[in-house]
């Protein structure tokens, strides 16, 4: 038999590969259909397996630690959380030319949290805050401390200091860098000295599922870990505004320093994406300009 060529990043992962992996390692599921999900991520490729399962495959070696982390910790965290998280059904091994560990999860119904799918944005913001509070109460003993595996979410935003300052320089004259620089400086100055807690690391619409207008599940814990929860507050500017932002701020209950670091996390990401899209993707650029404007206004009000 001629060996299957090793997949090259995202392009080498397809339904045929998933079918071979399932047939070789989990033959009891080999008759189930394999289809791509409608909205996929970058770190992993995800396929529906039958009606009630998914297959999740890292797209590169750098994303592999997240799979092992989720496999170990999602079952431990799930009983303490108010909404569903992905149930881990099986752990796959490298094979069929695919070089990384992979996993089979239970399918969670719902739609990504876009405004058109949410009945009451204020109540939704409270639900997200309640999820974060519950996650922060989970037992951290033995949990993965923030670091490379979490892309430094949960650590100090200072890890991205050089990158942020390069973005500020590159965007001079395109955004209000005179106001943005003090926001970043304030984030670095507000050093975290709290007790480490669990954080998700990527609270965004694509990782929040809704049914009937309500939050029902949170997915993709690849950037999760134990550390500073400030990174989980970026939804305040990325998803919420007006009453919903105020409701989130009140319900999530963090101190001023944590909010200062959160503004830093939101600013870093928005500046980075804007610097890459300002001349190529008008819609994405506009979205990140709105985030930057909201962060700067928030700093003017609370900083």
214: buried, middle or exposed (CB in 10 Å: 19+, 13-18, 0-12)? Answer: middle
Output DSSP code: residue 151: T
Beta strand 111-112 with 88-92 is unpaired
Q: What is the pLDDT of residue 1?
A: 30
Q: Are 29 and 49 in contact (CB under 8 A)?
A: yes
149 and 278 co-located in one domain: yes
Same domain, 47 and 119: no
- Do 198 and 257 belong to one domain? yes
Q: What HEC string does 48-104 produce?
A: EECCCEEEEEECCHHHHHHHHHHHHHHHHHHHHCCCECCCEEEEECCECCECCCEEE
Are 77 and 203 within one domain? Answer: no
Element (H, E) at 105: strand 102-106
* Residues 162 and 280 reside in one and the same domain: yes
- Residue 300, pLDDT score: 97
- pLDDT for 43 equals 84
Check whether residue 149 and residue 61 sit in a common domain: no
User: Residue 239: what pLDDT?
Assistant: 96
Specify burial of residue 273 (Cβ count, 10 A radius: 0-12, 13-18, 19+). middle
If you average pLDDT over every residue of the chain, what do you get?
94
Q: Which of 78, 106, 134 is the endpoint of a domain?
A: 106
Q: Kindly state whether residues 282 and 233 are assigned to the same domain.
A: yes
- CATH number reported for the structural domain that contains residue 179 in this entry: 3.90.1200.10
Q: Which of 79, 106, 133 corresponds to the end of one domain?
A: 106
Q: Does residue 175 lie within any of the structural domains?
A: yes
Q: How much is the CA Rg of the chain, to the nearest whole Å? A: 20
Residue 264 is assigned to a structural domain of this protein: yes
Does residue 6 have a pLDDT over 70? no
In this prediction, residue 10 has a pLDDT band, given cuts at 50, 70 and 90, of: low
Q: How far is CA 212 from CA 110, 158, 182, in A?
A: 9, 40, 41
Q: Measure the CA angle with vertex 77, ends 76 and 81; round to 5°.
A: 140
**Stretch 6-10: mean pLDDT, rounded?**
45
**1: in domain:** no
Reference 81, options 181, 221, 206, 195; nearest CA is: 221
Question: Does some domain include residue 202?
Answer: yes
- Give pLDDT tens digits for 212-262: 999 999 999 999 999 999 999 999 999 999 999 999 999 999 999 999 999
The domain total for the chain is: 2
**Would you say residue 179 has pLDDT above 80?**
yes
SS3 203: coil
290 belongs to a structural domain = yes
183 and 262 inside one domain: yes
The angle that helices 256-277 and 177-189 make with each other, rounded to 10 degrees, is 140
Tell me the CA end-to-end span of the chain in Å, nearest whole number: 65
Pair (169, 208) in one structural domain: yes
Whether 86 and 131 map to the same domain: the answer is no
What domain range includes position 261?
111-302
DSSP code for 280: T
Count of H helices and E strands in the chain? 9, 10
pLDDT at 303: 83
Tens of pLDDT along 46-103? 999 999 999 999 999 988 998 889 999 999 999 999 999 999 999 999 999 999 999 9
Q: Is 279 exposed, middle or buried (0-12, 13-18, 19+ CB in 10 A)?
A: exposed
What's the average model confidence in pLDDT over 166-193? 97
């Amino acid at each position: 038999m001629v060996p299957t060529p090793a997949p090259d990043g995202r392009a080498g992962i397809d339904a045929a590969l998933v079918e071979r992996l399932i047939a070789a390692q989990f033959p009891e599921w080999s008759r189930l259909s394999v289809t791509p999900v409608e909205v996929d991520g970058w770190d992993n490729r995800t396929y529906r397996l039958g009606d009630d399962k998914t297959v999740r495959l890292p797209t590169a070696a750098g994303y592999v630690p997240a799979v092992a982390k989720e496999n170990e910790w999602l079952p431990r965290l799930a009983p303490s959380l108010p909404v569903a998280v992905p149930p881990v059904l099986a752990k796959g091994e490298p094979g069929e030319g695919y070089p990384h560990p992979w996993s089979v999860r239970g399918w969670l119904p719902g739609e990504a949290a876009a405004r058109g799918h949410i009945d009451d944005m204020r109540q939704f913001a409270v639900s997200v805050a309640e999820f974060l509070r519950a996650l922060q109460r989970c037992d951290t003993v033995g949990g993965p401390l923030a670091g490379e595996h979490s892309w430094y979410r949960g650590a100090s935003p200072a890890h991205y200091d050089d990158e942020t300052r390069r973005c500020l320089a590159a965007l001079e004259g395109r955004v209000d860098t005179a106001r943005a620089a003090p926001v970043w400086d304030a984030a670095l100055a507000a050093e975290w000295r709290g007790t480490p807690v669990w954080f998700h690391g990527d609270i965004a619409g694509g990782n929040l599922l809704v049914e009937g207008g309500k939050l029902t599940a949170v997915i993709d814990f690849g950037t999760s870990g134990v550390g500073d929860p400030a990174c989980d507050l970026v939804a305040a500017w990325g998803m919420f505004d007006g009453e919903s932002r105020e409701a989130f701020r009140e319900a999530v209950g963090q101190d001023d320093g944590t909010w200062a670091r959160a503004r830093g996390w939101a600013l870093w990401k928005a500046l980075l994406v804007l610097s890459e899209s300002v001349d190529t993707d008008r819609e994405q650029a506009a979205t990140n300009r709105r985030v930057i404007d909201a962060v700067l206004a928030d700093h003017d009000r609370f900083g």
